[in-house]
Structure 1
């Protein structure tokens, strides 16, 4: 059976959010809010050591060579040039979001800069996405193998998720915001992060038991 995102959030969302954001339950609960957030005015257009440390709260680590390049090298300047073209207030699923996450949008170009370093540094698509989610949490979701499995490893995830969040006058966004409030989660935590947490918690234990291509949860969530 393939579940709809809005049904999953309505059925399971509050419980997963409470479990994840209970004080001390997980380091990931501080990913967005650590040191005031990666999108605060003074650091929003550059990668900082604080951002890389926040990413470690999600159980990944950028190798030191790429971290150094991001903080004081050309890679950081190139990524920062794209960040400057991405307003911090634009949200996925709302006006202005779609063009930023298309293949030629600034968010996608920044992601490719990071992911293209994979051969030299091992940063890869998961860490690349988490770094950018730290910088633009309202626009870019945390996305890893557990969530990709449930979606069936589709292409253009950001674009498709934008469509889901925009449809029916933003019904999914409304349900996510309500679940966040009911669970008592700080509203500085984005609705995208709430969705990531819900999807990750509902499948992570099962996913870790199987080869990814044979996981029974593969393709069970509609995107």
Structure 2
């Protein structure tokens, strides 16, 4: 292949990699991240409320509540376009609070997904994530999107955000954790995907509260929703 030829596209099983994460698209990816996260700098109100999600901590208790769901956690869902039913909120914050505290504690620290060997329900590190997933799904009108966003709020480096846009454009098999986990751990000629996401975060000037998984989510969502068209490709 000559120097001027475009590099081959990266492909992963059961995962459609966003175009901005393909080789030589780093500048566009960076521009998309700045478009999403620094929208407050534009004259009008923020275009994306989700730019507040990663650091959302109005009560100032996030650091001390890693193993318990708080009102801040529930309100953070609205920043990503969903709302938790009142009955579910009562169950999480009051009636089943101890149960959900135990489930969160069992997950342990916020590891990076790339460092987990097995994301199946029998996996040592991810089994507790599945346990919490199933308990949240039992609540009234709490589907996969709300559940994923709620768990990702507590463990943003370990659990990806998930919604209908990503399901339709990025994860054709209907699975999410398994294909993304495999892609993150796969070595490629263009560096491991996890490292590239971390580089993009740093190059865009984003804080450490923005995880590599969130960088993937934002880029995939912008492209899948069609909003990336507002940012010209270099």
Q: Which range, TM-score by smaller chain?
A: 0.7 to 0.9
Aligned residue in 1 for 2:47: 25
Q: Partners in 1 of 2:141 and 2:98 — Cα distance?
A: 20
Q: Give 1:68-107 correspondences, 5 Å limit.
A: 68-74=90-96, 76-94=97-115, 97-99=116-118, 101-104=119-122, 105-107=127-129
The aligned counterpart of 1:61 is: 83
TM-score, with normalisation over the residues of structure 2? 0.76
Q: 1:13 to 1:37 in 2, by over 3 A?
A: farther
| Match of residue 148 from structure 1 | 167
Contact 2:73–2:153 (CA<8 Å) still a contact in 1?
Answer: yes
Q: Structure 1 stretches (4+) deviating beyond 3 angstroms? A: 36-41
Q: How does 1:175-214 map to 2 (within 5 A)?
A: 175-205=196-226
Inter-partner Cα distance in structure 1 for 2:18 and 2:99: 37
Equivalent in the alignment of 2:32: 16
Q: CA deviation at 1:193?
A: 0.5
1:119-134 to structure 2, matched below 5 A, reads 121-134=140-153
Q: Across the two proteins, how many residue pairs are aligned to each other? A: 198
Which stretch shifts more, 160-169 or 41-50? 160-169
Cα contact 1:32–1:38 (8 A) shared by 2: no
Q: Is the 8 A contact 2:183 2:193 kept in 1?
A: yes
CA contact (8 A) 2:18 2:220 kept: no
Asked if 2 retains the 8 angstrom alpha-carbon contact of 1:16 and 1:202, the reply is no
> 5 Å matches for 1:36-55?
40-55=62-77
* Equivalent pair of 2:184/2:194 in contact (CA under 8 Å): yes
Distance 2:61 2:213 in 1: 15
Tell which has more relative contact order, 1 or 2 (C-alpha 8 A, sep 6+): 1
Shift, 1:85, TM fit: 1.5
Tell me the secondary structure at the aligned position of residue 93 of structure 1.
Answer: helix
Q: Distance in 1 between matches of 2:86 and 2:208?
A: 32
The alignment yields a C-alpha RMSD, in angstroms, of 2.5
CA distance in 2, matches of 1:32, 1:78: 25
* Offset of residue 157 of structure 1: 1.8
For the 8 Å contact 1:141–1:196, the answer to whether it is kept is yes
CA distance in 1, matches of 2:131, 2:162: 17
